[in-house]
Amino acid sequence: MTFNHSLFILYTKLLYLNMKNLSYSIYIFLNKWYNICIRSETMLKSMTSYGSSEYVCEKYKIKFELKSVNNRYFDLNLRSPRSLIEYEDKIRLAIKKRISRAKIDCFLTVVFLEDDPNDVEVDLVFLRKYMKALSLIKEELGLDDEIKLEDIISQQEVLSIVKNNYESDEFLDIMLETLEKALDNFDDMRIREGENLKSDILNNLTAIEENVDKIKEIYINYTDEYKEDFMKKYNELIEDKSIIDEKRLEFELALLLDKYAIDEEIVRMYSHISQFKSMLNSDEAIGKKMDFLIQEMNRESNTILSKTKNIEISKIGVEQKNLIEKIREQIQNIE
């Protein structure tokens, strides 16, 4: 039995134990080792995902829900009860550690199953001022509308929830533990989506590489044929060869061929494809790097199309641009 396998069994058993007896710090430690050992294979992650987790005990119920879409940067919209505002920084930090970029909506719901540990306070000073202002508005505008209770309590300044220190350390640990489990589920979906994207991208990269092989072969043959045609026409048109400097002729021919040369573009295309494949096996967030690289591949393809005079290469070049565009669309959803 390998170390990885042993750790996997330990981790699985712990998931089914009563997690109330497992501190948050131990859970995080085991979860980190699980991610290192069990998820040791490099994984591409999608920015589109959903994950949730719920903790229920006799005292309260905690539920986290996470959903995300692709975005250029990390953008978190956290919705939680006002009474838990003091924990928001810790929640944001925990999410930021696991997600580098995406537009994320995080919903935290807490339901106390026993007596609510929080108190509700009324700001009587503000209430009096508010009622006075409403009465003044009625008088100035000649309104007959009654001032209703819902008009008063709808103002956040009137009523406020004061949180008592109700087992705050235990509650915080369990809440963050529940968040980590939601993030695990969230990550699992991102990985599954990422694997699908990786497969599609690899297929398109393979097609691009095969096209570059074809372009290279056609270009080599085309260059040799171009030289032969040039010399044939030269021999047909110029009867007196003595009036032409042979070295000058070779130089001019070289300049002409260089104008339509795509050797460097072909070499760079192979290099970009190789780099792209390496990125697909990276365990880092590489979406932005891929976006830059696909722009370079598109630029090389445009250069090949603009320089070549061969119809077959032009046809393949157009197909290349379509494949590159497909990859560009796919990587927009990669973290």
* pLDDT tens, residue by residue, 93-134: 999 999 999 999 999 999 887 665 566 777 788 778 888 888
Locus of tokens 């170390």: 3
- Residue with the bigger pLDDT between 165 and 96: it is 96
274 band by pLDDT with thresholds 50, 70 and 90: very high
Domain regions of the chain by residue span: 1-40, 120-153, 195-331
273 band by pLDDT with thresholds 50, 70 and 90: very high
Kindly tell me if the per-residue pLDDT of 20 is higher than 70: no
Q: Coil, strand or helix: which one is 40?
A: coil
Kindly tell me if the per-residue pLDDT of 287 is higher than 50: yes
* pLDDT tens, residue by residue, 225-256: 666 666 666 565 555 556 566 666 666 666 66
- Residue with the bigger pLDDT between 37 and 99: it is 99
146 band by pLDDT with thresholds 50, 70 and 90: confident
200 band by pLDDT with thresholds 50, 70 and 90: very high
Quote the pLDDT of residue 3: 45
In whole angstroms, give the CA distance from residue 132 to residue 152. Answer: 12
Q: Coil, strand or helix: which one is 55?
A: strand
Q: Which phi and psi (to 5°) does residue 54 adopt?
A: -135, 140
Quote the pLDDT of residue 237: 54
- Residue with the bigger pLDDT between 235 and 67: it is 67
Q: Which residues contact 271 (CB under 8 A, 6 or more apart)?
A: none
Asked if 174 contacts 55 with a C-beta cutoff of 8 angstroms, the reply is yes
In whole angstroms, give the CA distance from residue 189 to residue 216. Answer: 40
307 band by pLDDT with thresholds 50, 70 and 90: confident
Tell me the average pLDDT across 144-172: 70
In whole angstroms, give the CA distance from residue 32 to residue 136. Answer: 61
